[in-house]
Amino acid sequence: MASTSVGPPSRSDMANDSYPPIQPGASLMLALRLQDRPILLIGGGVVASQRLYFLLESGAHITLVSPSPLEPSIAHRISDPSTSSQIKWHERPYLGRTDPIKVSDFDLVMTAIDDNPLSAQVCEMCREERVMVNVADIPPQCDFYFGAQIRQGPLQIMISTGGLGPRASAMIRDIIRKALPENIEESVKGIGSLRSDLRKRAPGVGGERGQQRMDWMKDLCDLWGLEQMTRFNDEETRRFVLDQGWDNGKMVSPTEVKGKVQKVGQFWEQVKQFGHTQLAAGVSGFGAGLAVATVATIYLTRNAAR
């Protein structure tokens, strides 16, 4: 993996005056917070419905411009009470420059229509107004790309191949999905709750205290591991760890905490993370070993008897 981007230089890198070379051509990967933000979505087909889904999950306020008929899932989201308030539907084609709906009133603009001249016009308008735009399927008219995604509660993972291979992105997503621990969502929620409690106990942004909080949290995460972090969903456990650990300026290990102790040692934790394929391999190997030794023994004793 010679060209793996190693990320920003570490302290040891800097001490040695060695900096990882910059490999150009990357996207900047971001997680946008769109709660209540205005987004313009032009189109009413399958691709538009996919965009709409992710926009709804982000809490955006979507202005949808498309004539009928709409893709059924879009029609559903417009009429369903749980999502209808997030969508304002203008039942007509978008008119480009003459349209009363102005791209400059939005944070992002997305088109997913089969009208290339209109898409190009929308793209032009957005670039004049400095509004980020995505024209489905036309990379030069995209200021940003979508990718394959995984979401488990607060955990979100995105796989992008820079437009080279959407199917490859989806296949890599499937590999990642299988690799994630089963209760990863509980781990993330647990550590989030602990972090939140710690901020209340030791408030303030940045500075020395902020650094202390970060260092303590990092060391704790490394000590507990993802599996044990699920225990931080329990308020008593969090309080104990903060009282015994943070307040005394030290670490608290998983075995020191009473209550709903998951009696899984380091070894079993790794076994669990290994998953089923390794277990199957081990059992099969064991069976094969038994069989081979038994056959060999029978063969050898027969020969000895002769």
Q: Candidates 99, 124, 185, 269: give the one binding a second copy (CB under 8 A).
A: 185
Distances (CA, A) of 148 to 40, 51, 60, 162, 177: 22, 12, 20, 11, 11
* Least distance in angstroms from the C-beta of 197 to a second copy: 12
Q: Candidates 62, 70, 126, 188: give the one binding a second copy (CB under 8 A).
A: 188
CB 133 within 8 A of CB 127: yes
Cα separation, 303 vs 306, whole angstroms: 5
Whose Cβ is closer to a second copy: residue 101's or residue 132's? 132
Interacting residues with a second copy between 7 and 36 (CB under 8 A):
7-9, 13-14, 17, 19, 21-34
- Residue for token pair 């202390």: 212
Phi-psi sector, 123: left (phi>0), alpha (psi -120 to 50), beta? alpha
Catalytic residue at 222? Answer: no
Phi, psi of 90 (to 5 degrees): -105, 110
In one-letter notation, the amino acid at residue 98 is T
Q: Candidates 101, 118, 158, 202: give the one binding a second copy (CB under 8 A).
A: 158
CB 141 within 8 A of CB 133: yes
* Least distance in angstroms from the C-beta of 92 to a second copy: 21
> What pairs with residue 142 in β-bridges?
134
What's the burial of 281, exposed, middle or buried (CB within 10 Å: 0-12/13-18/19+)? exposed
Phi, psi of 39 (to 5 degrees): -125, 140
Two structure tokens written together for 248: 């005394």
Interacting residues with a second copy between 244 and 273 (CB under 8 A):
none
Residue among 185, 178, 183 nearest 153 (CA) = 185
Residue among 242, 138, 264 nearest 197 (CA) = 242
Helix (H, G, I), strand (E, B) or coil at 65: strand
* Least distance in angstroms from the C-beta of 39 to a second copy: 9
Of these residues, 99, 107, 115, 137, which one is catalytic?
A: 137
* Least distance in angstroms from the C-beta of 226 to a second copy: 6
Interacting residues with a second copy between 192 and 221 (CB under 8 A):
192, 195, 205-207, 210, 217-218, 221
Q: Candidates 164, 200, 259, 306: give the one binding a second copy (CB under 8 A).
A: 164
* Least distance in angstroms from the C-beta of 252 to a second copy: 16
Q: Is 235 in the site for a second copy (CB under 8 A)?
A: no
Q: Is 145 in the site for a second copy (CB under 8 A)?
A: yes
Q: Candidates 67, 91, 171, 209: give the one binding a second copy (CB under 8 A).
A: 171
Cα separation, 63 vs 43, whole angstroms: 11
Q: Is the dihedral of CA 33, 38, 40, 46 positive or negative?
A: positive
# binding residues, a second copy (CB under 8 A): 122
Two structure tokens written together for 158: 């995105």
Whose Cβ is closer to a second copy: residue 65's or residue 228's? 228
Interacting residues with a second copy between 79 and 138 (CB under 8 A):
80, 82-83, 107, 114, 116, 130, 132, 137-138
* Least distance in angstroms from the C-beta of 51 to a second copy: 9
Whose Cβ is closer to a second copy: residue 40's or residue 184's? 184
Q: Is 278 in the site for a second copy (CB under 8 A)?
A: yes
Stretch that binds a second copy, among 87-95, 152-160, 236-244, 245-253 (CB under 8 A): 152-160
Q: Which positions are catalytic?
A: 137
